[in-house]
Amino acid sequence: MNKTLITSVIFAMLILLIVSPFAALASLMIVLLVSATFWFIKNLLQTIISGHVQSTEEGE
């Protein structure tokens, strides 16, 4: 599985956690959302600009 797909899935899960009504640590989750947003955008731009998708497997 490539890095961009994994990043997209993790980002979607994080958004679901933040908007859930049971988010007890909402302020911490907002900090996580901001950092994950930058991480997600960086990976997307890296994929778009370079055209090379990084693999998550060892040795490649």
pLDDT in tens, 2-56: 777 888 888 888 877 777 766 566 667 777 778 888 888 888 888 888 876 666 6
pLDDT given for residue 47 in this prediction: 82
Residues 6 or more apart whose Cβ sits within 8 Å of residue 6:
56
pLDDT value for 56: 63
DSSP assignments along 46-60, one per residue: HHHHH--PPB-STT-
Note the pTM of the prediction, 2 decimals. Answer: 0.50
Q: Residue 23 has what pLDDT?
A: 59
Looking at residue 14, its pLDDT comes to 80
Q: What is the DSSP string of 6-54?
A: HHHHHHHHHHHHHHSTT-TTHHHHHHHHHHHHHHHHHHHHHHHHH--PP
Cα angle for residues 13, 27, 7 (degrees, 5° grid): 25
